[in-house]
Structure 1
Amino acid sequence: MCARIASIGLRGMEGYLVHVEVKAMIGVDSIVIVGLPDASVKESKERVAAALHSLGYSLASQKIIIHLSPAELKKNGPMFDLAMAISILVSLKELKTTIPQNTGFIGSLSLDGRIQPVEGMLPAVLAAKKLGLKKLYMPFDERLPVLEFKDLEIVYITSLEEVILHLNGQGTIQLFPKAKVIENLSNYTDFQQIVGHSYAKFALEVAAAGEHHVFMIGPPGCGKSLLAESFPSIMPPLSKEAQLEMISLHQLSGGSWEHTDLPPFRNPHHSASGVSIIG
């Protein structure tokens, strides 16, 4: 039997639909992954095999071929582990239910079957929503906000065994994380505390109201940096979509972030070149 399970791949901030196809055949024990996998994806076969063995599933005398479609796009990261494991179980007829095509799975597997968060999950979730998935199984990452969408059901899971029992209708999901309180701690200079600069302040007020770009030119010490630093204090709070996009950028860059609705402020060094800032 050939199984086909949906997952999400990433190219920077852009996500795309990946179908994890599995064909199990009688043969020498082996797992082969095709579809332009990188080294971390190739290692998934060892994690998946160990996790399934920990739950008592045998892959003896089975040659398993895993195809990550579309084949022309390079796949990276351990995000496909959970989808691979579920697809293998479907191919071996170990699952009693049919998984809808609009249900996706993302997450990395540990050797004992626990499901762990990976970098890039938030962009993957946003891509899943955009691509039309209706349900997404994923691990909970304490660094991320609790995700709730109108058209996409997020199911937070902790282990492969929990997913299997839930899909077979034999168990319920026990993890219901609480939403974090949005932090509103600002270190910005208050716009109203700046004395003078009436024309520059008026220009910034117009820019904040109309969401325009601002280009400030002047000699050192005339107040450009002070005005720029105070600019976020008069801007409206970020929308939910903008907050998630900001957190996604921070997560992909490997930096830390706070769950806040305040617009971010970045202050590159004055000697930084255009190439060093934007690449």
Structure 2
Amino acid sequence: MVLARVWSVALSGVDGIPVEIEADIGGGRPRTQIVGLPDAALNEAKDRVRAAVRNSGLEWPDQLVTFALSPAALPKGGSGYDLALALAMLVADNKIPGDAIAGTVLIGELALDGRLRHVRGVLPCLLAARRAGLSRVIVPVPALAEASLVAGMEVMGAHTLADVVAWTRGEQVDLQQPGPLSAPPLIDQPDLADVVGQPEGRWALEVAAAGGHHVLLAGPPGTGKTMLARRLPGLLPALSPDQALEVTAIHSVAGSLTADSPLVAMPPFFAPHHTASTSALVGGGAGIAKPGGISKSHFGVLFLDEAAEFAADRLEALRTALEEGEIRLARRDGIVAYPARFQLVLATNLCPCAPPRDLDCVCPPQVRRRYIAKLSGPLLDRVDIRVRMRPITAMSLSLDSAPEDTATVRARVVEARCRAARRWSEHGWRTNAEVPGPTLRREFALPREVTALLDRSLSTGAITARGADRCLRVSWTLADLAGEPAPTRDHVVAALNFRERKVA
């Protein structure tokens, strides 16, 4: 007969699934067993929980203790079930009243002395618990700030198992309450005014920020490619509350949140080294796949510096995510989908020797082709804007002595994004880059005279059908920046010119 039931939450990607933990005592030789597809970390909880209970001044039954985790067919892993297992046993052993924790979600890892330790994924766990109708949660104190982001739940934090036990017995032990949410710390973003020259690159960055488009910056070293890319997050508007929770949930699963900054309120920026593995970029791992760089960049920027130095299979792994805005990873214990709607910024030299001027290149033609061929045609077809950077000269320094700063450009970007958001609001899209091609061609079709050059480029094979859709998206962004209700012929020509720029 089952004697106790408590609640915890299992994670599958960034989705939580409430787990009912049942405890039964007796019926066999003294030992502890966990059923319900536990992984190694969860199976080791038997020893952690038993030691924590004993070192908290309580006794562990000298009988068979069986824990059942339901749904039984769902693989479960991690150490976040420790607190729930301990309390389930204590309720089954009549050490604490079961009514005190009815409808309460229990999350936390136990140290051998009974201390509660922080675990990953608290935010998505509580979002799932709230959807399931559970209204109260007990978490470790270090996770209290993250847990308090979920409105509509009573959140309490505990330092030790003994504190939770005393609270269930009605003793004068107050579990810690979350404090008021503090504003996220301001991140000092580099200023666009630091970039010297490069009017085409600055304009491309502004268009990319306004429409959420992908960008390729190609040219000699030292021309400002990396500087421009690192200034893109400063041009993007702050995340909306829903976007911030979605991004924070991903970072919570990845274990990259801190107690000082539990909410990711600004667009994230991720710039991996060119030796990064495929798993580091798109996600991976044994059992259930963990999020990678493209998911950590959700609603932000993924910057691949020296893109042609990345292994080709790493770059090709990005193609599906660039098109669909999510990545689906199949591993031993199941398939998980992580959001991955990021802006890709590629920066590359044109050849291995990378001279300041193209005329000084000493690479044989086949070496140049092999180098730049790392950026395949299907990958480049998904990049909306391609910019050839010009060498810096004394003349350009004097002509661009007072470039616009980030605040000035950001104001135009925010205004353009507001226009796009109002236009697509009834469809649920926020930026022009999210709009499907069929919608642009049917519901928001442009006059034939406006798209004449685009049609000609399609007929001659200069661009693909996907490229034509991306040209339409960029043209809508150019119209938003210009304050026009719809793209004109000049906007379509400018968008096509962005795609026709040759990389090499």
Instruction: Give the 3-state SS of the residue equivalent to 2:19 in structure 1.
Output: strand
Q: Which moved more, 1:45-54 or 1:219-228?
A: 219-228
Percentage of identical aligned residues:
32
Aligned CA distance change for structure 1 residues 53 and 142 (closer, same or farther; 3 Å): closer
Instruction: Tell me: higher relative CO, structure 1 or 2? Use CA pairs within 8 A at least 6 residues apart.
Output: 1
Residue in structure 1 matched with residue 123 of structure 2 by the alignment: 122
1:164 correspondence with 2:145: no
Q: Quote the residue 2:19 is aligned against.
A: 18
Q: TM-score, normalised by structure 2?
A: 0.49
How well do the aligned residues superpose, as a CA RMSD in angstroms? 3.1
Aligned pairs for 1:1-279 (under 5 A) are: 2=2, 3-99=4-100, 102-141=103-142, 145=146, 147-176=148-177, 178=179, 179-180=181-182, 182-186=184-188, 188-194=189-195, 201=202, 204-205=205-206, 207-209=208-210, 212-216=212-216, 218-220=218-220, 224-253=225-254, 255=256, 259=261, 261-267=265-271, 268-270=304-306, 271-273=309-311, 275-276=313-314, 278=317
Q: Does structure 2 retain, via aligned residues, the 8 Å contact 1:204–1:214?
A: no
| 2: CA distance, partners of 1:193 / 1:56 | 62
**What is the identity, as a one-letter code, of the residue corresponding to 1:265?**
F
Which is helix-richer, 1 or 2?
2
- Deviation of 1:233 after TM superposition, in Å, equals 1.4
Query: Aligned letter for 1:173?
Result: D
Gap regions ≥5 residues in structure 2: 272-303, 319-504
Conserved? CA contact 2:201–2:217, under 8 Å: no
Q: CA deviation digits over 1:175-219, x for unaligned, max 9?
A: 345455522132x33235546665665554455445x33333544
Q: Deviations over 1:80-135 (max 9, x none)?
A: 01001111112122222415653210101122222111233333334333443211
Structure 2 letter corresponding to 1:184 = L
CA contact (8 A) 2:34 2:68 kept: yes
Larger Rg, first or second structure (1 or 2): 2
SS in 1 for 2:18: strand
Over 3 Å counting, the alpha-carbon distance change for 1:254 and 1:226 in structure 2 is same
How many residues are treated as equivalent by the alignment?
A: 277
* Gaps in structure 1 of 5+ consecutive residues: none
Q: For residue 49 of structure 1, give the secondary structure of its aligned residue in structure 2.
A: helix
For residues 114 and 25 of structure 1, the distance between their equivalents in structure 2, rounded to whole angstroms, comes to 28
Alignment deviations for residues 208-234 of structure 1 (CA, whole Å, 9 cap, x no partner)? 445x33333544466554333222112
Determine if contact 2:123/2:147 at 8 Å carries over to the other structure. Answer: no
Q: Counterpart of 2:80 in 1: which secondary structure? A: helix
Contact in 1 for aligned 2:61/2:93 (Cα 8 Å): no
> What are the Cα deviations for residues 33-52 of structure 1, in whole angstroms up to 9, with x where unaligned?
11111111111111212222
